[in-house]
Amino acid sequence: AQSVTQPDIHITVSEGASLELRCNYSYGATPYLFWYVQSPGQGLQLLLKYFSGDTLVQGIKGFEAEFKRSQSSFNLRKPSVHWSDAAEYFCAVEGGSNYKLTFGKGTLLTVNP
């Protein structure tokens, strides 16, 4: 069965600083990987996804993520964080006969002015 680990429960960065959120996955076949963002009181919004090909994928809101098969990682990055990026971020892997999404426990991002 697939699984996702997000090692950091809570990260605090200053506005304008760079950001990296870590994600490690476990899946036997080629993984389909996703990053979602959840603002308070909102549903999840897809930031970006990786299926195949170029291991550096670009998403919305200036986010990017890099797939590293050797490390089973799919870390999310942003060069300069804005106060509006404060939210909870979830990494997910798709797998199984019904293409089920399995989520990590999330990383809460706080942005200091």
Partner 1 sequence: EAGVAQSPRYKIIEKRQSVAFWCNPISGHATLYWYQQILGQGPKLLIQFQNNGVVDDSQLPKDRFSAERLKGVDSTLKIQPAKLEDSAVYLCASSSSGRARDEQFFGPGTRLTVL
Residues lying near partner 1 in the complex (CB under 8 A) are found at 4, 9, 32, 36, 41-46, 49, 51, 90, 92, 94, 98-101, 103-106
Work out how close the CB of 45 gets to partner 1 at its nearest, in angstroms, rounded to a whole number.
7
Rounded to an integer, what is the distance from CA 66 to the centroid of its chain? 10
Q: Can you read off the two tokens belonging to residue 88?
A: 């909870």
| Nearer of residues 22 and 103 to partner 1, judged by Cβ | 103
Work out how close the CB of 30 gets to partner 1 at its nearest, in angstroms, rounded to a whole number.
11
What gap in Å lies between CA 37 and CA 107, rounded to an integer?
A: 10
What gap in Å lies between CA 40 and CA 50, rounded to an integer?
A: 26
